[in-house]
Structure formats: C-alpha cells, structure tokens
Structure 1
Amino acid sequence: MPLDILISFFGVSILLALSPGPDNIFVLLQSALYGAKVGFFIILGLCTGLIFHTLLVTFGVATLIKTSPTAFLILKIIGATYLLYLAYLTAKSKPMTLDSSSQKTNSPLSYGQYYRRGILMNVTNPKVTLFFLAFLPQFLYSSSITATQQLISLSALFMLATFITFNTIAYFSGTFGRIIKQSPKAQYILNIVTVIVFVGLAIKLFF
C-alpha cells in the first residue's frame, strides 16, 4: 500500500472512529461505569463483528468490479449518496450528554457477555455494511493486486484504527466523559470536521 494512501486512510478512519456515534458512546458509557477492561471486551466484540461486514463487502464489491462496471458505478453513486446522508445526520445531530450521576460500579455481566454483546451490536447493524460499501472502494490503490486483497487490507487497517481509538476512549473514559458533559462545543467542532470529511469522500466517490 502506498504510504500516502495508508496515512490518509488511517487518519480518516481514526477521525470517523472519534466522531460521536452509538458504538463509541456505548464504549464510553460502559467504560465510565464499569472500567476500561469492560470497554476492551466490548471493543474486541465490535471489531470481531467488523469481520462479517468485511467479508460481505469484500467479495461483493470484488465480484462487481470483475463482472459489471455499470453495476459498480451504480454502487458508487449509492455509496456517495449515503455518505452525503451521513453528513446530513451528523450536521443536525445534537450534543450527547453523560449522566452526571454516573459512578463506577461493579459490572453486572461477565467479560464474555460484553464481548458477545459487542459482536451482536456490530453484526446486526446494516449501516456498517453500507458504510463499508461507500468508504472502502474509493481507496483501492493498485491495478496489479486483486480488489479482494486490497479491500481486506483496507478493512484490517480500519479495524486497527477503530481498535486503537476505541481503546483510547475506554482508557480515558473519565476525561472523555467530562468533555462530553461539559463541552458541547467540542462535539460540535468534531461534527463539523466529520461533515466535511463525509462530503469530501462523497465528492471523491462521485468523480
């Protein structure tokens, strides 16, 4: 993978992992309540679930590239439209808050149960597949390597970025929790940056 593609893809992946959403907010809340180790097992489950979406998208997109350029073009248009829709949702989202009464308590579930919950959350979310369809193909970087191999490499890099970012959120859950409670402006700025990224990716995908 060319260094410029690796850096840009990894950087965007980290930014998207930081952008407030159901997964990282769930990791934040559970880590703030029960500790970073609980957050780690949830993250492990979420990243395991990404394998399902990776396989679905990788072989589906690779088949389209080989068999039908027209169908792949339609897929790109749908993907770009979906990215613009995500930008719209991000732009109109309200700042999230963390219950100020939250205090760290003993976990009611085992680590294995948190791991399975993370897998279930990810696998049953069709938006992850749609996002992968919109996001991954535009970073294909070589004509001499199969699309399948490239998409698997990109997916693995995305998982690594998600794993590192989410674990950072879990580890610093107290600090992040205070930011979310006390600084809606910080969320607003992050949302604006995310909107710009989504719109930029959509434009890139269109053309």
Structure 2
Amino acid sequence: MTLSPEQLVSFLFAAVLITASPGPDNLMVLGVGISKGRKQGVAFGLGCALGCISHTILASLGISALIAASPMAFTALKLSGGLYLIYLGVNALRSSGNTQISGNALPDQSLKTLFAKGLFANSINPKVVLFFLSFLPQFVIAEHGAVQWQTAQLGLVFTLQAAILFGLLGYFSGSAGSWLNRNPRTGLWLDRIAGSIFIGLGTKLIITR
C-alpha cells in the first residue's frame, strides 16, 4: 500500500523542519559550498542526503522483523525511540543556536570525491541509524499492513526532501551562509522549533498504544 495523504503530509512537515534545523550535515554543506563553490556544495549535500538510503533499508528490515517477531518488541522500540527523541528535543532547546559557518570545510577535491565523502559519512553515522529507528516507526500504521513498504516509503521521502534541501543549501551556500552569520539568532529559533517537534513526537510515541 502507499502512504495515506495524512501520513505523507504529517511526516513531510516534521522531516523538513528537522532537516532544516542547524546540524552537522547542513552546516558542513554550507561550509563546503562557501569555501569550494556551488557545485562542490551540491555534490557533498547530495551525498549526505543519499546516505539516508542505507538507514532506510536497515529501518525497513528491522522494524518489520520486530513486528513479525513480537508486537511487544515493536512497542519497546517505540518507547525507547520516544525517549531518544525527547532527549534530542531537550538538547535542541538547550542549544545556544550558534550557526557561525566556517569556510574551511575540506581541501580541494573532485565532485565525485565530495559526493562519496558525504555519502560515506552519513551512511556510517550511528546517530543517524538510531534517529531513523526512532523517527520512522511513529508514522507507520501497523494496522494498514505492509509495514516494511510503509517504512521504506517514509525513508525515501525523507531522503528526497533532504536531497532537495541540501542541494539548495549547497547551491545558495554563499548567500545563505552570510545571512546566517549575520543573523545568529535564526539558528536559535530553528533549534527551538526542532526541539519542540522532537519532544512532541517522542511524547506521542510513548503515550500512543
């Protein structure tokens, strides 16, 4: 089955806000774009985004296997995921919101190399794996069936929106980075929004049976 419109809209709204909030990936994309150029920023950003595909595969297999093995285990995953999201939210709310962008990101490298570096860095990041295992299950409606396919679709939607946002960040990195450096409180408000979303989603995971 395909995702329902309600599933897609709610997931996409949360995913975009979370992806847009200041973090290591998008700040690195800005840094590469500012120091090396638009094409380099786009290449690195697309690599980071497409690295999410590996996490999508792991999440799809893991979540569907848990449901098949034990609904109780799936509930435990949702509860632990909820606590993890709340933890991320609290950290985001406590963040100083510092978004100063450094122009010294990486030495001169080819577009292919930068793409591969972004892809590899994201693919092996255990924090991203944990995030996917925590974030995706709350948008899966087990009663609708095809849990593995639902999870895969959610992961691909996340990857697609990340590729668009990171690509735009890389392309407009010069102006975007300068604007963020001139308006450091923007990062603070983005962190506050993302933190509130994390806490809300985590609480939902915990209280929803």
Return the TM-score normalized by structure 1: 0.92
Counterpart in the other structure of 1:96: 99
1:202 aligns with 2:202: yes
Counterpart in the other structure of 2:150: 150
Q: State the Cα deviation string for residues 96-124 of structure 1 (Å, max 9, x = none).
A: 2124xx49xxx710111101101121122
Counterpart in the other structure of 1:186: 186
Runs of 4+ in structure 1 deviating by more than 4 angstroms, as ranges, are none
Structure 2 residues without counterparts, runs of 5 or longer = none
C-alpha RMSD over aligned residues? 1.8
- Within a 5 Å distance, the mapping from 1:45-194 to structure 2 comes to 45-94=47-96, 95-99=98-102, 102=103, 108-141=108-141, 143-194=143-194
Structure 1 residues without counterparts, runs of 5 or longer = none
Deviation at 1:144, TM superposition (A): 3.9
Q: Is residue 78–residue 134 contact of structure 2 (8 Å, CA) maintained in 1?
A: yes
CA distance in 2, matches of 1:166, 1:90: 20
1:32 aligns with 2:34: yes
Q: Is residue 179–residue 186 contact of structure 1 (8 Å, CA) maintained in 2?
A: no
- The size of the alignment, in residue pairs, is 203
Question: Which one-letter code corresponds to 1:191 in the other structure?
Answer: D
Deviation at 1:44, TM superposition (A): 2.4
Deviation at 1:27, TM superposition (A): 0.3
Deviation at 1:143, TM superposition (A): 3.0
Equivalent in 12, 20, 45 of residue 18 of structure 1? 20
